[in-house]
Structure formats: C-alpha cells, structure tokens
Amino acid sequence: MFTRAVTRISRKRPPSEIHITEISKDAPEHNQERTKIWSSSLESLLEDPHGVTAFKDFLKGEFSEENLLFWLACEEFKRTVDQDQMEKRAQHIYNTFLSSKASAQVNVEGQSRIGEQILKEPHPLMFEKLQEQIFNLMKYDSYSRFLKSEKFQNMQSSEENLSARQGESAPKRASRIYNT
C-alpha cells in the first residue's frame, strides 16, 4: 500500500522545512506499470510518492525543485482547517517561495499582489492561481523533459527487463545468471 506524497510541516522541525512523506518500505521502488502510469500524465506522477521522489530528483538537477515544493506546499495548505495553522502556513509559503527575499523563490505572475493583509486573512484557495501557473509550467516544460530524460528512460528499461525476466523459465534464468 502506498502513502500519498504530500509535504508536511512538522511540529518538531522548524516551519521552514518541507519534506515529502516517507514512502512505504514494503513497496518496490519501481514496479512493472509504474513508469507507464507516470508517463500518462503529470497528475498520475504526482499521485505516486515514488513518482514525486523521482520527479523531485530530476528537478534538483535542473535547479527547479522549488516549483514542485511550492506546488506540494499549496496542496497541503488547501487541506489545512485550523485558522491559526493556515495563517502560519500561508506566511511560510510566502516567505519560502513568493517573497522577494525567498530562499526558494518561484517565478509566477501576481506574487507581488500578495501582501501582509491577505496573509493575515488566509483562505484555502488563496494560492490557487499561483499554484496553477507552477503546475502548468511543470506540465508543459519540466515534465516533458523528465519523460525524455536518461533517468526516466533507464527506469523504463529496467522495468521492461524485470518484466521480461519474470516471464523466463527457471533454466533460462539460471543460464543467464551463470553465463554472465
């Protein structure tokens, strides 16, 4: 069973730390259909914690990991019910991703319109338009490069090899192992 990949702002850690939920240790990192599902849509990739991890690693190499982290932080923010928590998370998102002094600033139109007043009266959809911009940027830019990347191609071919080996007879598998 897989857990959903979402960001958490832990109460034990400083609020500036965002991380992806741990992935079930019982699940294999890649299974036969995983990359096929990821390649069907960005939405499908983001629903799989392994997909999020693979995409995040790819984005790190492209120096655009902040886009995914912002999107994930907004997803978590939308699920926040407690008003005090919402205010803290809104401030955190602003300070981390939107402020001119942000450590992981994302490039979106309209970020300058988010000011102190709106941060004091947060609502679950306050970052929706900005999040949509980042999603579209990832979907039409980063995601297509991810699918063409060597990393993704290697994951696909390793799954195909695994699938082919699972269909081998025991003697053929033994022959392949002992003849290498």
Range from 12-16, 129-133, 172-176 that averages highest in pLDDT: 129-133
For 31, half-sphere exposure in the C-beta direction (CA atoms, 13 angstrom radius) is 11
Buried b (16+ CB within 10 A) or exposed e, 123-137: eeebbeebbebbbeb
Per-domain residue ranges of the chain: 7-178
Mean pLDDT of 77-102: 93
Q: Which of 13-17, 51-55, 81-85, 115-119 has the lowest mean pLDDT?
A: 13-17
Summary mean pLDDT of the chain: 78
What's the confidence (pLDDT) of residue 170? 52
Does residue 124 surpass a pLDDT of 50? Answer: yes
Work out the number of other CB atoms within 10 angstroms of the CB of residue 138: 22
CATH H-level, domain 7-178: superfamily:
Regulator of G-protein Signalling 4, domain 2 (1.10.167.10)
Quick one: pLDDT band at residue 133, thresholds 50, 70, 90?
very high
What's the rounded Cα separation, in Å, for the pair 108 and 33?
34
Q: Say whether pTM exceeds 0.75.
A: no
What's the confidence (pLDDT) of residue 41? 96
- What confidence tens digit (pLDDT) does each residue in 138-177 have? 999 999 999 999 989 988 887 555 544 455 555 554 444 4
What's the rounded Cα separation, in Å, for the pair 70 and 106?
8
Work out the number of other CB atoms within 10 angstroms of the CB of residue 112: 10
Does residue 37 surpass a pLDDT of 50? Answer: yes
